[in-house]
Every structure is written in structure tokens, then in C-alpha cells.
Amino acid sequence: SAQIADLQQKLLDADNGDRAKQRWDSIATILEAKCALKYLLGELVSSKVQESKLQSSLQQSQANYSDVQKVLMEERNNIAELEAEFQNQILVQEQQHQEKV
């Protein structure tokens, strides 16, 4: 029964693919061509709108990435300064300790 169900699904998939092709192949009148063209143009507009939204989202993400990268660099520089200051304080403490000894 599993094999039968699998074969039936394959037949349905093949039939759906053939039907779509047959629809385009069977356009015979100007009215049908107009309808098909109208549908295709609608899909094109929809795709262009979606592309524009994705492009805008990409640009926003790139700007956010740039901002985060700047903050990261500032924080790294800040850490480096704090580390240098800490090392300097350690050196001063060691010198004071040596003087006391």
C-alpha cells in the first residue's frame, strides 16, 4: 500500500506539471493570451516589489552591520587602553613594592 500511495503521488505530481505546460501550450485566442500576459505581468510586479523590499532590508542590515562593527572597534580600542593603563598601574605597584623592600 505504501508503494501504491507513492506511485499515486508521483502520478499526481507528473499530472500537475503536465497540466501547467498544457495550459500554456493550449493558448489559442487573443483573449487567453491577454489573460496569460496580465497574470505574468502581475507576477512580475509582485516579484519586483518583493525584490525591492529585500534590497531595502539588505541595505538596512549592511548599515546595522557597519554600525556594530564601529562599536566593536571602539570597544576593542577602549579595552586596549584599559589594559595598557592596568599594566602601567601594575608596573607602578611593583616599583613601589621594590622601593619598600
- Predicted TM-score (pTM) of the model is 0.53
Q: For residue 27, with 0-12 CB atoms within 10 Å meaning exposed, 13-18 middle and 19 or more buried, which class applies?
A: middle
Domain around 76: 2-99
Distance CA(97)–CA(73), nearest Å, equals 36
State the total domains in the chain: 1
Mind listing the pLDDT tens digit for each residue in 10-33? Answer: 877 766 666 666 677 677 788 878
pLDDT in tens, the chain (101 residues): 899 999 888 877 766 666 666 677 677 788 878 888 898 899 999 999 999 999 999 999 999 999 999 999 999 999 999 999 999 999 999 999 999 99
Question: CB of 53 within 8 A of CB of 45?
Answer: no
